[in-house]
Structure 1
Amino acid sequence: MRTIDLHTLTGAYALHALDDEDRAAFEHHLRDCPSCAQEVRELAATAVRLGIAAATPPPPALKDEVMRRIAAVRQEPPPTAAPARSAVRRAGAARLPRWALAACLAAAAALGGTTVWQYDRARDARAEASRAEQRTQRIAEVVAAPDARTRTEALGGGARATVVVSQSRDEAVFAASGLAEPPSGKVYQLWFDDGGTMRPAGLMDPARGSGAVLMEGRVGDAAGMGVTVEPAGGSERPTSAPLALVEFPV
């Protein structure tokens, strides 16, 4: 076991992020440390709530589509020895007349612009995936922080909201489940409640009524948070009555 303070591993243990050696040492420590055991139970329950909040049911047609594709996709034939590459090139070049070679070159030139466009799209997709991975990592770090505290409130229409706050990280995570999709051209906007003054804290995906969001900005002296429906792109100040007002857990 490396020189690690075992009391700091509660979050990583609750998220199953320890290797075999550290997990065995922490479980041995857990048997004699009631405070760590309690903290692990609380963090594990929070992780479950966040997972439930972010979960979305698969579309009803998904199973039929998977089965259809299984039946339609041909099994790959057994591998066979390929002829020498140089021989293939010579045979192909001999069969292609000059006009066909010219047509191939023209098509390759025409597709050049499409290739560049596809490359740019792929690069943008990789960048967005990297940003999403970083946001997910930060959400996990807030939930797993040793001082993470959680509060869950029931919202209207059967929706629920969960807030996780870490004072040491000065960050908060908001998770919702069961929220109806906002009206067209509108988004859900999050706010920090600074003693009655609402400070913007980011937007939720308008297409999802569920999910976990790392609130933008520092918690600071905020005593709670709110959710409103705002025009697409968000607002500097709330323009509608709050759907939810949740006090931060102490």
Structure 2
Amino acid sequence: MSTADLHTLTGAYALHALPDEERAAFERHLAECEACRDETAELTATAARLGLAATTTPSPALREEVLRRITTVRQEQPGAPRSERIARGLRWRQASRWALAACLAAAAALGGTAVWQHERAQDATEQARQAQQDNQHIAEVLSASDAKSLATELADGASGTVVVSHERDRAVFLASDMARPPRGKVYQLWFDDSGTMRPAGLMDTARTDQAVLLDGAVDGASGIGITVEPAGGSEHPTSAPIALMKLPA
């Protein structure tokens, strides 16, 4: 495959549509051709944005239609002069840029909703990843060889247990039968550092029984407290504690 032919493969490479042999040859070409590297990066970014802007499930007959049309497309003659092949390649590259630009412009009206959905999906993925990580840390604290616990009766028949692993320098709060907080409020946990309350995380407002990994290291705290705070939590307590518990020695 000539260098002129390789110049025409930027679009196919950006869409992962090259067979292994051509892809390897084109990647070797990219190492030496700055123009193709720039164009490939542009086309790859454009293709990604188009994927976010709109997705459509193709009809079952699409594959057959594409295969049928392939047979009607005139192929380049093997004996075409090099200058003509280069000119055709340049025209193809220019046309591909215009086509991608037109597609991007047409999809822009739908892009806002799609990007919003994509961001929501990313948020959900991150939340799931964080929950999995927290659950792993909770299990590590509860199963630590030096784990110590202290149970306390809370208001309205609820109970709470603090589990601390000084080896891991982390603590877990186990709640049982906790009443749901008032609407628009949340239970916030705090480390008691010799009378100074340090934020240690929020409890799930939808659950009455839960295990919460306290944010941050135990770091010499003598106890933990629980307050009712506005949704999202506070940097400092805005209400009197509904519970104060000592950490197990």
Q: Per the shorter chain, which TM-score range? A: 0.5 to 0.7
1:168 aligns with 2:167: yes
Match of 2:212, SS state, is: strand
**1: CA distance, partners of 2:68 / 2:112:** 29
2:120 aligned partner? 121
Q: Which residue of 2 aligns with 1:199?
A: 198
- Structure 1 residue 112, shift from structure 2 partner: 4.9
2:64 counterpart residue number: 86
Alpha-carbon offset, residue 209 of structure 1: 3.0
**Which position in structure 2 is the counterpart of 1:147?**
146
Residues 93-120 of structure 1: per-residue CA shift (max 9 Å, x gap): xxxxxxxxxxxx9x97765554333333
Counterpart amino acid of residue 146 in structure 2: D
SS in 2 for 1:174: strand
Q: Which has the higher contact order (CA 8 A, sep 6+)?
A: 1
Distance 1:88 1:219, change over 3 A: same
Displacement, 1:177? 1.4
Written as runs of structure 1 = structure 2, the 5 A alignment for 1:53-72 is none
1:233 aligns with 2:232: yes
Distance of aligned partners of 1:158 and 1:85 in 2 relative to their CA distance in 1, 3 Å threshold: same
Q: How many Å separate the matches in 2 of 1:123 and 1:200?
A: 27
Partner AA of 2:190 in structure 1: W
Deviation at 1:170, TM superposition (A): 0.9
- TM-superposition CA deviations, 1:68-90 (whole Å, max 9, x none): xxxxxxxxxxxxxx999427975
Distance in 1, Cα, partners of 2:120 & 2:212: 25
How big is the shift at 1:139? Answer: 1.1
In structure 1, how many angstroms separate the alpha carbons of the residues matched to 2:231 and 2:116? Answer: 28
2:210 equivalent to 1:211: yes
Counterpart amino acid of residue 129 in structure 1 = A
Q: Which has the larger radius of gyration?
A: 2
- Paired residues in the alignment total 156
Q: Sequence identity of aligned pairs in percent? A: 61
Distance 1:220 1:159 in 2: 27
2:192 counterpart letter in structure 1: D
Question: How far apart are 1:235 and its partner, in Å?
Answer: 2.6
Q: Any idea what SS the aligned residue of 1:216 has?
A: coil
Distance 1:86 1:195, change over 3 A: same
TM superposition score normalised by structure 1: 0.54
Give 3-state SS (helix, strand or coil) of 2:225's partner: strand
Structure 1 residue matching 2:208: 3-state secondary structure = coil
Structure 1 residue ranges (4+ consecutive) displaced by more than 3 angstroms after TM superposition:
82-85, 87-91, 107-117
Tell me whether 170-179 or 191-200 shows the greater mean CA deviation: 191-200
Return the alpha-carbon distance in structure 2 between the equivalents of residues 199 and 205 of structure 1: 19
Root mean square deviation, CA, Å: 2.8
Go from structure 1 to structure 2 and tell me whether the alpha carbon gap of 1:213 and 1:84 turns closer, same or farther (over 3 Å shift): closer
**CA separation of 1:84/1:230 partners in 2, compared to 1, >3 Å: closer, same or farther?**
closer
Whole-angstrom distance in 2 between the partners of 1:134 and 1:178: 25
Give the direction of change, closer, same or farther, for the CA distance of 1:115–1:234 in structure 2 (3 Å limit).
closer
Offset, 1:200: 1.7
Structure 2 unaligned spans of 5+ = 1-59, 70-102
Q: Following TM superposition, by how much is the alpha carbon of 1:167 offset from its aligned partner in structure 2, in angstroms?
A: 0.4
Q: Classify 1:117/1:229 alpha carbon distance in 2 versus 1 (closer, same or farther; 3 Å).
A: closer
Distance change in 2, residues 1:160/1:221 (3 Å): same
**Which secondary structure state, in structure 1, belongs to the residue aligned with residue 150 of structure 2?**
strand
Question: Kindly tell me: are residues 115 and 186 of structure 1, through their superposed partners in 2, closer, same or farther at Cα, counting changes over 3 Å?
Answer: closer
